């Protein structure tokens, strides 16, 4: 998508600015250092703003297919595009959710899969939606390389992992939680849990 390309370009700009600032190959005069810091910080803010804006847009596929078929399509098309074995599972008694919840769940899965495709080196990924009496559980698990988690969730933006930060904020907006279980070389599990009290539409 167009916004994904723009976000990646901004992240490259921010990364290049940080690399220049940390380089020991040459001395940077104060005025240039200040400009590089401003460029890196501004690029990160713009990338985060653009990602937030794109997340607010409702995918048309949700209107034509509904959440679960849309997620199945998303996993299947992702697997084909990245040569990764994608699996989609649904457990429990399916319930109707508010439209804004459909968008949030779809975007969380979309961002998680995007991260798998860009960074993990995985050969398998499984997306599972489980309907419990009081909770909706969403998990995205891959067998990739994994990564080292920062101590604070807010550190994601400073390390260029604004996608993870955005997913966390999405889950919180639904009154839920997002947890990441990962270790270098051990794959990654993203688990989202949201109470049904904040999700269900009036039937």
> 3-state SS string over 58-121?
CCHHHHHHCHHHHHHHHHHHHHHHHCCEEEEEEECCCCCECHHHHHHHHHHHHHHHHHHHHHHC
- Structural domain boundaries in the chain: 2-55, 64-198
pLDDT band (50, 70, 90) for residue 129 = very high
| Model pTM score | 0.69
Residue 152's Cβ-count burial label (10 Å; 0-12, 13-18, 19+) is: exposed
d(CA 101, CA 173): 9
d(CA 198, CA 194): 8
pLDDT band (50, 70, 90) for residue 89 = very high
d(CA 52, CA 117): 20
Mind listing the pLDDT tens digit for each residue in 143-195? Answer: 998 877 766 655 555 444 567 888 888 899 899 999 999 887 789 999 999 99
Residues of the chain above pLDDT 70, percent:
84
- 119 or 105, higher pLDDT: 105
Residue 59 phi, psi (nearest 5): -65, 130
Q: Which of 80-84, 133-137, 141-145, 195-199 has the lowest mean pLDDT?
A: 195-199
* Fold of the domain built from segment(s) 64-198: Heat Shock Protein 90 (3.30.565)
pLDDT band (50, 70, 90) for residue 203 = very low
Q: β-strands 124-131, 85-91: how paired? A: parallel
- 76 or 4, higher pLDDT: 76
């Amino acid at each position: 998508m167009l916004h994904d390309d723009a976000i990646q370009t901004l992240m490259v700009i921010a990364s290049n600015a940080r690399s220049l600032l940390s380089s020991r190959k040459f001395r940077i005069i104060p005025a240039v250092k200040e400009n590089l810091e401003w460029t890196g910080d501004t690029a990160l803010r713009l990338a985060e703003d653009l990602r937030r804006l794109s997340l607010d847009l409702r995918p048309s596929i949700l209107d034509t297919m509904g959440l679960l078929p849309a997620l199945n399509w998303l996993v299947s098309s992702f697997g084909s595009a990245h040569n990764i074995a994608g699996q989609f599972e649904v457990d429990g008694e399916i319930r109707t959710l508010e439209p804004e919840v459909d968008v949030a769940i779809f975007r969380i899965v979309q961002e998680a899969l995007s991260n798998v495709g860009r960074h993990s080196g995985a050969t398998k990924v499984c997306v599972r939606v489980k309907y419990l009496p009081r909770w909706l559980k969403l998990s995205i698990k891959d067998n990739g390389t994994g990564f080292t988690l920062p101590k604070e969730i807010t550190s994601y933006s400073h390390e260029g992992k604004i996608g993870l930060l955005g997913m966390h904020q999405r889950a919180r907006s639904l009154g839920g939680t997002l947890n990441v279980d990962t270790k270098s070389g051990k794959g990654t599990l993203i688990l989202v849990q949201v109470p049904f009290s904040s999700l269900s539409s009036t039937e």
